[in-house]
Structure 1
Amino acid sequence: MNVPISLIITVYNRERYLAKAIESVLAQTLTDFELLILDDGSSDRSVEIARHYAKQDNRIKVIVAPHTGRGQALCNAIAQTTGQYLGIVDSDDLLAPTALAETAYLLNQQPDVGMVYTDYLVIDEKGTVLGLGKRCQIPYSSMRLLVDFMTFHFRLIRRSAYKQVGGVNPEFKAAQDYDLCLRLDEVTKIAHFKKPLYYYRTHQDNISHLLQLEQIQFTQMAIAQALQRRGLSEKLVLEVEVQAQYRLRPLTSAARNT
């Protein structure tokens, strides 16, 4: 199936949010797309949920794979798609109904742009909007991207640009999208569509919470490699500040009994 846009969802134990993510894709006003869902070895009902929607809509393809981590899962998933444009939706987030229509229109009208990213809204576990995301409010620049990941969500990428930079680096267990954006920034024009077309869900099972130290480690590696590629490693030194935060929460009855 050759379509203009390929959307990718990789999922690992996200049964609580996956259905809503899929439904937000199916609600797009631009309907000519494919949705590839790759399950990365889930042990919950994620595969069952994905297959339920695939039975109802032939634009959806489900792949079940052993757990490899998100970097390799994204590589494997994108390799199975055909669209001229690529978009990634996290399995716990949501797309606004016009996200594809508006970002694809920009790429169609501006052939020199290899990636467009949008503003995003932060939502909680229940889907309540908490406000405009902080990252997308940072002005875009190639140099600023080296320290601030403002090209956060949603992104629509030309496959030609994706191939030019070698795609997602599977060695990155975290910060894969940041590393990809840094490399894209070096070969193509990036546009900021200043309208919130993505809903980023924050909850305690976010990768940024569960893998915080790995996130910092791989972010640092992505920046260091970008400095090397750009010939700036002998002029600039990367300094990383990690601020520890401590919280207290009630102990559950199950945990008290262990």
Structure 2
Amino acid sequence: MEKVSVIIPIYNKEKYLTKCIDSVLEQTYSNLEIILVDDGSTDRTAELCERYYEKYDNIRVLHKKKGGIGSSRNAGLAMATGDYILFVDSDDWLDKKHIELLYNHLKKNNADIAIGSFNQFNDESKIFEIMIRDEDYFEKVYSPQEWFAYEYVSIPYQFDITFTVPWGKLYKRSLFRDMVYPEDPNVVEDDLTTWKIYLLADKIVYINKPIYVYRTFNKNSITAQASRLSTVPLEGIEERISLLNQIGFDVSRQKKAYSWRLHVYLENALKDGNYSKYRDAKQKLAILKKYNAD
């Protein structure tokens, strides 16, 4: 049985960490290396990590100076010895068959990445937000070009979130040979990285089954996700459009999403009185209109 390295970046998550780690330990796929990366936590996270380390032989722990989630992912990748990589956010948890299902579908289809979907759990209301029902199940194999067509499809299965986040995916470790996450705490590391990993794959298999539970912390979590996307720095999508266009991908949806973000940036810049940001967004919108992309 091949080894899967499960990387859990952690910062001040003592309240949620036990449920997260236990859900990994309870997986039906047993050959796991669990890497806990404590990013300079100031609560009881370090103590909890050490307790698990002392109790379980397959758990490894790194305590590091705070550097952000990108640096924690990179540190975990540097420690990983498995054949495959799987990320879990430290306030989320996994279905018991999460890894087994992803592994089996990856092997069955000779794919490089296996992706599953998720449901949300609102921590404030203690209510599950069900995205996918049993009758919605399907599985499909995509080329990277085909998978990119779903990047901005949010309804009905929240593909836009699934596309961007690093979790909910089993990756061949070899895909990370020359890939690192940005460590600047002011950037959104997944928006700048996940899509590049897709381009290194030959096949991507997706199963429309909620095998991950994503914990949210506000009343309108889906709306909040859209708001988060609208405020992600523009450099990521600009880089994506440029590169995808060069390699012959259809970037029409990418340009529409870019236009939408620019309009949101304009609104936010006016509200904030940031006229430099406003002028920059206005200029970029004018360029889009010139090329009939707006």
Same fold (TM over 0.5): yes
Q: Could you tell me which of 188, 196, 199 is aligned with 1:183?
A: 196
Structure 2 residue aligned with 1:121 = 119
- 2: distance between equivalents of 1:64 and 1:71? 15
Higher gyration radius (CA)? 2
Task: Check conservation: 2:83, 2:172, Cα contact below 8 A.
Answer: yes
1:179 is displaced (CA, Å) by: 2.7
Structure 2 residue aligned with 1:248 = none
- 1: distance between equivalents of 2:65 and 2:245? 39
Sort the Cα spacing of 1:157 and 1:65 in 2 relative to 1 into closer, same or farther, 3 A. Answer: same
Structure 2 residue aligned with 1:216 = 231
Kindly report which structure 2 residues correspond to 1:108-187, keeping only aligned pairs within 5 A, or say none: 108-111=107-110, 113-125=111-123, 128-132=127-131, 141-145=147-151, 148-151=160-163, 152=165, 153-163=167-177, 166-171=179-184, 173-187=186-200
Sort the Cα spacing of 1:54 and 1:131 in 2 relative to 1 into closer, same or farther, 3 A. Answer: same
The residue type paired with residue 6 of structure 2 is L
Structure 1 residue aligned with 2:54 = 55
Task: Check conservation: 2:91, 2:215, Cα contact below 8 A.
Answer: yes
> Which runs of no fewer than 5 residues in structure 2 stay unpaired?
141-145, 154-159, 269-294
TM-score normalised to the size of structure 1? Answer: 0.79
Superposition CA RMSD, Å: 3.3
Q: Could you tell me which of 209, 213, 220 is aligned with 1:195?
A: 209
Structure (1 or 2) with the greater helix fraction: 2
The superposition leaves residues 207-231 of structure 1 with CA deviations (integer Å, 9 ceiling, x where unpaired) of: x97xx7798234x322211112123
Question: More displaced, 124-133 or 152-161?
Answer: 124-133
What SS class does the counterpart of residue 150 from structure 1 fall into? Answer: helix
- 2: distance between equivalents of 1:78 and 1:40? 14
1:143 is displaced (CA, Å) by: 3.4
Task: Check conservation: 2:102, 2:170, Cα contact below 8 A.
Answer: yes
Task: Check conservation: 2:10, 2:41, Cα contact below 8 A.
Answer: yes
Number of aligned residues: 235
The residue type paired with residue 171 of structure 2 is I
Task: Check conservation: 1:34, 1:60, Cα contact below 8 A.
Answer: yes
Kindly report which structure 2 residues correspond to 1:86-97, keeping only aligned pairs within 5 A, or say none: 86-97=85-96
Sort the Cα spacing of 1:199 and 1:226 in 2 relative to 1 into closer, same or farther, 3 A. Answer: same
> Which runs of no fewer than 5 residues in structure 1 stay unpaired?
245-258
- 1: distance between equivalents of 2:188 and 2:177? 19
Sort the Cα spacing of 1:171 and 1:230 in 2 relative to 1 into closer, same or farther, 3 A. Answer: farther
The residue type paired with residue 175 of structure 1 is V
TM-score normalised to the size of structure 2? Answer: 0.70
1:67 is displaced (CA, Å) by: 0.3
What SS class does the counterpart of residue 191 from structure 2 fall into? Answer: helix
Question: More displaced, 181-190 or 115-124?
Answer: 181-190
Task: Check conservation: 1:37, 1:60, Cα contact below 8 A.
Answer: yes
1:92 is displaced (CA, Å) by: 0.1
What SS class does the counterpart of residue 73 from structure 1 fall into? Answer: helix
Task: Check conservation: 1:71, 1:168, Cα contact below 8 A.
Answer: yes
- 2: distance between equivalents of 1:227 and 1:143? 13
- 2: distance between equivalents of 1:230 and 1:192? 21
- 1: distance between equivalents of 2:19 and 2:101? 21
Kindly report which structure 2 residues correspond to 1:61-80, keeping only aligned pairs within 5 A, or say none: 61-80=60-79
